[in-house]
Homo-oligomer: A and B are copies of this chain.
Amino acid sequence: MKLHQSNLSPNSRRVRVFLAEKGLDIPYVDVDLSKGESHTPDYLNMNPMGEVPMLETDDGCYITESVAICRYFEALQPEPHLFGVTPIEMATIEMWQRRIELKWFGPLTQFWGHTSPRFAHRHGQIPEWAEQNAQAVGEFVTWLDSELSGREYIAGESFSIADILALATFDHGNATVGLKTSPALKNLVRWHQMVSRRPSARA
């Protein structure tokens, strides 16, 4: 089993952090996105979407989509649980995972795709669309900050995959995309400092 991944990819980081939390050591195959290694004929044969991360299993299955890969490892080795245990925990974590992805990571990615020179060759970049997404990100993180005034972690009182997605999104926005988190969002900043101290955050 091996994980095709890139250190430049926030979705790859989700899986790396998840594996670190589980204490699992899976060999990596580093895919150099800047050299187009995710779009070679060999890679597209394994994953027609041309995306990382991708898990190659020992019996020749290819699993893409970061959360699907994490779910696979949760099923193989449930402890420590990162998707919840009881039905209501599982549902609450999935609700937050999806909010983080659809209301934060998604708009952040749209903003990046429509402002960064590195994507200018792929499609027409639309400044007005970028601006709408910057606004959506701002509204979401403001709301998330207010939510975090009442609890420790994104989906409750325990660390979960929702925190991993939020951590990867937060750092991607600040370090790469250039949509920096306002220090006025004190609860969000407190949460980020806390989860960044976990050893897995270095993965």
Interface residues of A (CB under 8 A from B): 48-49, 55, 57, 61, 63-65, 67-69, 71-72, 75-76, 86-88, 90-92, 94-95, 98-99, 103, 106, 123-124, 126, 128-129, 132, 143
CA of A127 to CA of B70 in the docked complex: distance in angstroms? 37
Chain A interface SS verdict (over half): helix
Once the chains bind, are B94 and A67 in contact (CB under 8 Å)? yes
A5 to chain B, nearest CB (A): 16
Partner of A72, one of B55, B65, B88, B103: B88
Question: Assembly of this chain: how many copies?
Answer: 2
CA of A92 to CA of B62 in the docked complex: distance in angstroms? 9
Q: Which residues of B contact A57 (CB under 8 A)?
A: 88
CA of A125 to CA of B69 in the docked complex: distance in angstroms? 36
CA of A61 to CA of B98 in the docked complex: distance in angstroms? 17
- Tell whether A92 pairs with B71 under 8 Å between CB atoms, given A76-B87, A126-B128, A129-B126: no
Q: Which residue of B lies closest to A95 (CB)?
A: B68
Once the chains bind, are B72 and A90 in contact (CB under 8 Å)? yes
Once the chains bind, are A90 and B71 in contact (CB under 8 Å)? yes
CA of A191 to CA of B143 in the docked complex: distance in angstroms? 41
CA of A143 to CA of B50 in the docked complex: distance in angstroms? 13
Task: Report, nearest first, the 6 A-B pairs whose CB atoms are least far apart.
Answer: A75-B87, A72-B91, A68-B94, A68-B95, A65-B98, A65-B95
Q: Which residue of B lies closest to A146 (CB)?
A: B48
Q: Which residues of B contact A48 (CB under 8 A)?
A: 143
Interface centre among A69, A86, A94, A124 (most CB of B within 10 A): A94
